[in-house]
Each structure stands twice: as structure tokens, then as C-alpha cells.
Amino acid sequence: MTIEAETLTQLTDVLAQQGLTRLVQVRFTRTPYRCNHKWVCEVR
């Protein structure tokens, strides 16, 4: 799943909506990075 957000706070909120409220619950395929002024992360 790829998630995009304008801020890290929004990224955190989207992860929380998916039930991922703790970092240990998140399995990043690719860690958060900036792309075209947005934060993007890929999770399994």
C-alpha cells in the first residue's frame, strides 16, 4: 500500500486510520520520503 500526505502529521493520521498506531506495527517496504512536496511511504 502506498500512502501520500502533505505533512508527516497527515501521514501518521492515515496510518492510524489503517489501524497502525505504533511504529512496531508498521512494516515499511520503503521508509517515508519526500516526492513532489508530499510525504510518501510504502507499507505491507
Query: In degrees rounded to 5, what are phi and psi of residue 18?
Result: -85, 0
What does the pLDDT look like over 5-35, one tens digit per residue?
A: 998 889 889 888 988 888 777 787 888 889 8
- Cell readout for 3 is 500512502
* Average pLDDT of span 34-38: 89
C-alpha dist (Å) from residue 31 to 10, 22, 28: 15, 15, 6
**Residues contacting 33, CB < 8 A, separation 6+:** 39, 40, 41
SS3 of the chain: the string is CEEEECCHHHHHHHHHHCCCCCHHHCCEEEEEEEECCEEEEEEC
pLDDT for position 19: 86
